[in-house]
Amino acid sequence: MPEPPSDTVAWVRGAAKIRRLAIPVSFVVGITAISGAFVAGNDAGHAFNTFPKMGDTWIPEDILSMEPIMRNFFENTATVQFDHRILATATLLSISGLWWATRKLDIHPAIRSLLGSTMGMAALQVTLGISTLLSYVPVSLGSAHQAGALTLLSLMILLSHTVRKPSPILLKSLSSSVTRTANAVSMSLSTSLSTCTAQRVVPKSAKCYRECSYTNFTPNQSVLSKPLHSNDRALSSLSLTMNSSKCQGNGKILRSGGFQCHALDIKSPSSFLAGEKFQLDDVIEAQQFDLDILNAIFEVAREMENIEKRSGQSEILKGYLMSTLFYEPSTRTRLSFESAMKRLGGEVLTTENAREFSSAAKGETLEDTIRTVEGYSDIIVMRHFESGAARRAAGTASIPIINAGDGPGQHPTQALLDVYTIEREIGKLDGIKVGLVGDLANGRTVRSLAYLLAKYRDVKIYLVSPDVVKMKDDIKDYLTSKGVEWEESADLIEVASKCDVVYQTRIQKERFGERIDLYEEARGKYIVDRTVLGVMQKHAVVMHPLPRLDEITVDVDADPRAAYFRQAKNGLYIRMALLKLLLVGW
Catalytic residue list: 332-333, 362, 383, 411
Q: Please choose, from the candidates 543, 451, 505, 21, the residue with its C-alpha nearest in 3D space to the C-alpha of residue 218.
A: 451
> If DSSP codes are grouped into helix, strand and coil, which group holds residue 552?
strand
What angle do the packed helices 139-164 and 109-134 form, to 10 degrees?
A: 160
Asked if 343 and 301 count as a contact pair (C-beta separation under 8 A), the reply is no
440: CB partners within 8 A, 6+ apart: 446, 463, 465, 469, 470, 471, 472, 505
Query: What CA–CA distances, in Å, run from 91 to 26, 98, 131, 150, 152?
Result: 9, 10, 17, 14, 10
402 membership: H or E segment, kind and range? strand 401-406
Q: Please choose, from the candidates 213, 200, 201, the residue with its C-alpha nearest in 3D space to the C-alpha of residue 240.
A: 213
C-alpha to C-alpha distance for 406 and 458, rounded to whole angstroms: 30
C-alpha to C-alpha distance for 402 and 422, rounded to whole angstroms: 22
> What DSSP assignment string belongs to 158-223?
HHHHHHHS--HHHHHHH-GGGHHHHHHHHHHHS-------------BTTB--EEEE-TTSSTT-EE
Q: Return the amino acid letter for 386.
A: E
Beta-bridge mates of residue 460: 433, 485
Q: Please choose, from the candidates 383, 327, 384, 381, the residue with its C-alpha nearest in 3D space to the C-alpha of residue 355.
A: 327
* DSSP tag of 59: S
**Which phi and psi (to 5°) does residue 56 adopt?**
-100, 0
C-alpha to C-alpha distance for 426 and 413, rounded to whole angstroms: 20
356: CB partners within 8 A, 6+ apart: none
CA end-to-end span of the chain, whole Å?
A: 24
233: CB partners within 8 A, 6+ apart: 262
CA dihedral 4, 6, 7, 8 (to 10 degrees): 20
Q: Where are the alpha helices (DSSP H) in 314-379?
A: 332-343, 354-357, 366-373
* DSSP tag of 508: -
